[in-house]
Amino acid sequence: MRPGISKILAACAAWGDKTAFLDCSGASLSFAQLHELSLRLGTAFRHMLKGATGRPIAVVADRSVRCIPVLLGAALSGSFYVPLDGSLPEARRRAMLAAIQPELVVGLAEGTSEAGFRYISVDELYGTLPDADELPPVDGDMPLYGIFTSGSTGFSKLVLKSYAALMSFIKAYIETFGFSERDVLGSQIPFSFDASTKDLYTPLACGASTLIIDKGYFAQPGRLAELLRDQRVTSIVWVPSALSMLSRFGVLGHISLPDLKRVLFVGEQMPVRQLNIWREALPDALFANLYGVSENAGNCLYHVVEKSYGEDERIPLGKPFPGTQVLLLDEAGAIIPPDQPDLQGELCIGGEILALSYYNDPEATASKFVPGPPGVGRIYHTGDLARYDEAGDLVFCSRRDHQIKLHGYRIELGDIECAALACPGVDAACCLFDPGKKKLTLCYAGASGEAALRTHLKGALPAYMAPGSLVRLEKMPLNANGKTDRVALARRYCGGGDVP
Amino acid sequence: MIESNAMKEQIISILQDILPGEDVTESTTLADDGRIDSLAVVELVTEFSIAFDVEIPFSDLVNENFNSAEAMEAMILRLQQGT
């Protein structure tokens, strides 16, 4: 049995009164308090579940420090935690709860309830006295937490990940970027996304502090920058749309952020135009692209940006973190070596960071987590197509299901979107293909007129890639996970549902 | 410059497109309660720049200016007069 969550919690208590987490209401938790409260809640969960282990505890999370000991306490009690975003529509939260049937739903507000489930508010749990002897030994290879997949195909599954998988990533992450107890991390990503584990576990592993930033700040870029400056935030891992809030309105030119030395982005393609504004404003900071999927703990690839990119270029996904295996497999399942640039294959992930399984779904688990090529253990096929560049860095090409054939040409819909994004006044782009009518439709949002975009595309793309029609949208529709809702766009503008 | 009443109607129509199904006419807490989030702000800045020819500086991107259709109208009128 390998050590589990109790080990790191006991160890981080040695940082004592140093701040571990703080939020925008002014509340904070020291490492000693975090340890004590997690033990307290762990003991309370143990009593409530009467010794049952290996079952989910759902946590309806907000952006307060109060969430943290709930998550850790659930793990200490021998359960695994499933963070749910408190701002999700109720119907969606219900569907998620129904899918996993948690032993307990923990919320932050009193007086609410979750129909059909055992609900308790955090405040009702604090009365229990912490008793480490009552907590079971928890195996590091058992599930620590569960995250719902992005469900871009409309169906969302709960992926389970172990403490061992997550800590192997966190260790590599801290070593790669040199985090220490002097760092203050500014957390943007909701706890229901795997990417938030970096903000949650980096403090536990190296003594850094994490400021949990309220969602409301991201609609107020000036105040957001002032918060980062005043709290002396040193590192951020944000989604590109959050980073763009500071770059696109000129904030970075007016409010200086002298303490910010690492700017990492994850979750979607970083628009080069916005990245260039960031790099100009913070010439001494480190900028890096991170890549991962829900089926691994943390991230598997990273690329430190060391040169300027053109607006129609893609920032590489980069190279694997230490301890992670990332393979590029061709259609026959053979490994494409890094010294063969420009051969396209599917990104496949292996190594310790791989998730354990889909919860209660052995069939999907068996079909998605498969034996790798000889000498490689279990791997997960991401569905992302990539190639190596001259430097041996992996570069994203497209989603496997976004690659189409038109008039004999193979076309990556992502290439058309990329070209459109380089056009001034285009903020978001989504290209759709109707295989029946053999027609490309480009939907975009932004101030650019259709004629200007058409002229731009003509200069940027071969004629066979030019979209047949352009649709300017007031806003790009997003699915429940904040990604472009291609299904809704296809239904509306492309005459069908099953369009890539 | 567009007449004030027409402007407010246009703002409401833009808001209805961006926040379908929300009460955008009466509400006075659109930003404070998170209905106008960061994505909506980006969309509104774009739409307002097209409809009213104003560039909204970041110092005006604060909840107080986006809580209601009236607040947005007041901000746009102020910015139009300033130029």
Residue A498 has pLDDT above 60, yes or no: no
pLDDT tens digits along A431-466: 999 888 888 999 999 999 999 999 999 888 888 888
Whether A243 and A114 map to the same domain: the answer is no
Residues 53-82 of B with CB under 8 A from A: 57-59, 61-63, 66
* pLDDT value, residue B3: 59
Question: Among partner residues A221, A446, A475, which is closest to B58 by beta-carbon distance?
Answer: A221
- Worst-scoring range by mean pLDDT, A35-44, A111-120, A175-184? A111-120
Categorize the per-residue pLDDT at A190 as very low, low, confident or very high, splitting at 50, 70 and 90: very high
Q: Is A483 on the interface with B (CB under 8 A)?
A: no
Whether A222 and A200 map to the same domain: the answer is no
Residue A80 has pLDDT above 50, yes or no: yes
Residue A218 has pLDDT above 80, yes or no: yes
Whether A158 and A9 map to the same domain: the answer is yes
A-chain CB neighbours of B63 within 8 Å are 216, 219-220
Residue A153 has pLDDT above 50, yes or no: no
Tokens 């285009």 locate to: A426
* pLDDT value, residue A8: 92
Phi-psi region of A40 (alpha: psi -120 to 50; beta: other; left: phi over 0): alpha
Mean per-residue pLDDT, B26-35: 94
- Worst-scoring range by mean pLDDT, A275-289, A298-312, A313-327, A398-412? A398-412
A254 with B58: Cβ contact below 8 A: yes
Mean per-residue pLDDT, A311-324: 93
* pLDDT value, residue A26: 96
Q: Is A488 on the interface with B (CB under 8 A)?
A: no
Whether A228 and A105 map to the same domain: the answer is no
Residues whose CB is less than 8 angstroms from the CB of residue A444 and which lie 6 or more positions away in sequence, other chains included? A420, A426, A427, A428, A429, A430, A453, A470, A471, A472, A473, A476
Residue A225 and residue A232 in contact, taking contact as beta carbons nearer than 8 Å: no
Whether A55 and A135 map to the same domain: the answer is yes
Categorize the per-residue pLDDT at A111 as very low, low, confident or very high, splitting at 50, 70 and 90: low
Integer Cα distance of A70 and A145 in angstroms: 12
pLDDT tens digits along A419-433: 898 899 998 899 999
Integer Cα distance of A210 and A38 in angstroms: 17
Structural domain count, chain A: 3
pLDDT tens digits along A372-393: 988 889 999 999 999 999 999 9
Residue A33 and residue A162 in contact, taking contact as beta carbons nearer than 8 Å: no
Residue A260 has pLDDT above 90, yes or no: yes
* pLDDT value, residue A104: 94
Mean per-residue pLDDT, A107-114: 74
Q: How far is B57 from chain A (nearest CA, A)?
A: 7
Last residue of a domain, one of A400, A425, A460: A400
Whether A177 and A240 map to the same domain: the answer is no
Substitution target in A220, A227, A245, A252 with the highest count of B β-carbons within 10 Å is A220
Q: pLDDT higher for A296 or A405?
A: A296
A474 with B43: Cβ contact below 8 A: yes
Categorize the per-residue pLDDT at A499 as very low, low, confident or very high, splitting at 50, 70 and 90: very low
* pLDDT value, residue A418: 86
Residue A71 lies in a domain: yes
Q: Is B43 on the interface with A (CB under 8 A)?
A: yes
The rounded mean pLDDT for chain A is 91
Categorize the per-residue pLDDT at A109 as very low, low, confident or very high, splitting at 50, 70 and 90: confident
The CATH number of residue A181's host domain is: 3.40.50.12780
B38 with A250: Cβ contact below 8 A: no
* pLDDT value, residue A150: 67
Q: How many CB pairs under 8 A join A and B?
A: 62
Mean per-residue pLDDT, A166-188: 98
Q: pLDDT higher for A409 or A275?
A: A275
Tokens 């560049």 locate to: A389
Pairing mode, strands A324-329 and A19-23? unpaired
* pLDDT value, residue A459: 87
Mean per-residue pLDDT, A69-86: 95
Separation in Å, CA A59 to CA A56, A139, A179, A319: 9, 21, 28, 34
Whether A396 and A470 map to the same domain: the answer is no
> Any idea how long chain B is?
83
B-chain CB neighbours of A87 within 8 Å are 34
Q: Is A89 on the interface with B (CB under 8 A)?
A: no
Whether A188 and A219 map to the same domain: the answer is no
Whether A256 and A396 map to the same domain: the answer is yes
* pLDDT value, residue A20: 98
Question: Among partner residues B34, B37, B49, which is closest to A447 by beta-carbon distance?
Answer: B49
Closest CA to A199 of A290, A134, A79, A272: A290
A-chain CB neighbours of B18 within 8 Å are 474-475
* pLDDT value, residue A169: 98
A-chain CB neighbours of B59 within 8 Å are 222
A404 SS3 class: strand
Whether A208 and A130 map to the same domain: the answer is yes
The residue segments making up the domain with residue A267 are 214-400
Residue A152 has pLDDT above 70, yes or no: no
* pLDDT value, residue A481: 64
Q: pLDDT higher for A405 or A40?
A: A40
Burial tier of A154 (Cβ tally within 10 Å: 0-12, 13-18, 19+):
exposed
Last residue of a domain, one of A143, A178, A213: A213
Q: What's the half-sphere exposure (Cβ side, CA atoms, 13 Å) at A345?
A: 23
A496 SS3 class: coil
A218 with B38: Cβ contact below 8 A: yes
Last residue of a domain, one of A366, A400, A434: A400
Q: How far is A306 from chain B (nearest CA, A)?
A: 29
The CATH number of residue A485's host domain is: 3.30.300.30
Residue A86 lies in a domain: yes
Look up residue A257 and give its amino acid: L
Q: Is B13 on the interface with A (CB under 8 A)?
A: no
Substitution target in A85, A189, A248, A249 with the highest count of B β-carbons within 10 Å is A249
A-chain CB neighbours of B41 within 8 Å are 219, 245
A-chain CB neighbours of B14 within 8 Å are 474
Q: Quickly count: other Cβ atoms within 10 Å of residue A218's Cβ.
A: 21
